[in-house]
């Protein structure tokens, strides 16, 4: 006896507007009849991405839904996300399509990676609709699942950290955005991003690194290939600035700030955090001074004053700040006006220091 799903796909084949769509639908019918579920999943993903068949939403409700429990859950949710992006005209429509998949009765929700993938996309859509609290709840639930897994496919990590980074770009702190964005890039092949996307991620990460209160390891960012997207563009100044921070080079920092001032003042986040940025480069200059000392790490306030371009009365505050951030360890001698540094926070070295 012919199933309702078979009847539907036969009707779609008959009413297809052209031979190409008729051929694509016939392939799905053949795979359904032969119960080749893996091949069915791959074919569904292909025709959705290539958009060789129209009206994918009714195809799901009248055809795929009958056998979805037999499909690989991660691939099923991946396909559903593709459908929501390619065939739902609004974020609200996409949410209406995807949300039922969250039902615990759904076979796909027995797969933790599939659930993470779905929650990540739902969080992104809710963020688009400015429903920030619900977006945060989805991200929080997904993060708990991610942290509870010993192993996950790279593309699941990529989807989660992208959503988390996009959320923190709008709602969270610069440091939270920075950490999640770095994770996203570590699980994402650069070639999977367009040149425009690479440039935007590099620009956002660069700004976040400069204003993130606890970010002092710039070598980690510069080691990412995507940051090179800034080179040779109107944002070359940002790449140069990041390199100056990595070296703790106050002279270069001041040169770039002077030369690129017109561009920097167009970035409200940099203007708002001007004092923090100056404090960070000064602390990094102090760390660089400690790194380069080969004859012991007892450094006088006078040396620090000269290197960091501060008055001697400001040196002790700088040292206390660096100590409180655990960027250095050591003992301040207020009588002899010096500090003995016993440890400097390890960092990823760029090519120049090596």
Residue 25, token pair as written in the block: 């639908």
Question: Residue 1: is its pLDDT beyond 80?
Answer: no
pLDDT digits (tens, 9 = 90+) for 297-334: 789 999 999 999 999 889 999 999 999 999 999 999 98
Give me the pLDDT at residue 348, please. 65
Candidates 108, 127, 192; CA nearest to 155 is 192
Cβ partners under 8 Å of residue 207, min gap 6: 174, 238, 267, 269, 270
pLDDT of 87 higher than 90: yes
Which tokens in the block code for residue 339?
A: 């500090």
d(CA 78, CA 69): 14
Average pLDDT (322-350) is 87
pLDDT digits (tens, 9 = 90+) for 219-258: 989 998 899 999 999 999 999 999 999 999 999 999 999 9
Give the model confidence (pLDDT) of 158-197 as tens digits.
Answer: 999 999 999 999 997 899 999 999 999 999 988 899 999 9
Find the distance separating the first CA and the last CA of the chain, reported in whole Å.
73
Q: Is 15 helix (H, G, I), strand (E, B) or coil?
A: helix
- The distance from CA 274 to its chain's CA centroid, rounded to whole angstroms, is 25
Looking at residues 119-131, what average pLDDT do you find? 97
**Number of alpha carbons in the 13 Å side-chain half-sphere of residue 183:** 19
How crowded is the C-beta side of 164, counted as CA atoms within 13 Å? 26
| pTM reported for the whole predicted model | 0.89
């Amino acid at each position: 006896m012919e199933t309702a799903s078979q009847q539907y796909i036969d009707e779609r084949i008959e009413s297809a507007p052209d031979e190409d769509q008729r051929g694509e639908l016939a392939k799905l019918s053949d795979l359904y009849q032969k119960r080749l579920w893996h091949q069915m999943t791959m074919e569904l993903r292909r025709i959705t991405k290539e958009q060789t068949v129209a009206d994918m939403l009714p195809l799901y409700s009248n055809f795929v839904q009958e056998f979805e429990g037999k499909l690989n859950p991660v691939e099923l949710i991946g396909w559903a996300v593709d459908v929501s992006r390619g065939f739902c005209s609004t974020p609200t429509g996409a949410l209406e399509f995807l949300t039922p998949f969250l039902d615990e009765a759904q076979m796909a929700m027995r797969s933790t990676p599939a659930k993470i993938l779905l929650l990540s996309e739902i969080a992104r859509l809710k963020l688009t609709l400015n429903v920030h609290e619900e977006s945060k709840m989805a991200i929080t639930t997904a993060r708990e699942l991610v942290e509870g897994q010993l192993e996950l496919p790279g593309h699941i990590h990529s989807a989660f950290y992208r959503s988390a980074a996009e959320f923190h770009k709008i709602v969270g702190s610069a440091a939270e955005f920075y950490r999640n964005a770095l994770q996203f890039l570590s699980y994402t092949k650069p070639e999977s991003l367009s040149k425009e996307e690479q440039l935007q991620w590099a620009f956002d990460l660069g700004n976040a690194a400069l204003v993130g209160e606890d970010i002092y390891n710039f070598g980690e960012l510069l080691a990412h290939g995507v940051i090179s997207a800034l080179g040779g563009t109107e944002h070359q100044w940002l790449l140069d600035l990041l390199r100056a921070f990595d070296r703790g080079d106050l002279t270069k920092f001041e040169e770039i700030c002077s030369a690129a001032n017109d561009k920097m003042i167009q970035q409200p986040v940099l203007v708002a955090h001007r004092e923090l940025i100056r404090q960070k480069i000064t602390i990094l200059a102090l760390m660089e001074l400690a790194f380069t000392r080969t004859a012991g790490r007892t450094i006088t306030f006078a040396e620090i004053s000269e290197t960091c371009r501060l008055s001697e009365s400001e040196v002790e505050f700088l040292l206390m700040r660096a100590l409180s951030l655990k960027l250095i360890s050591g003992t301040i001698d207020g009588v002899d006006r010096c500090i003995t540094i016993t440890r400097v926070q390890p960092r990823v070295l760029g090519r120049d220091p090596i």
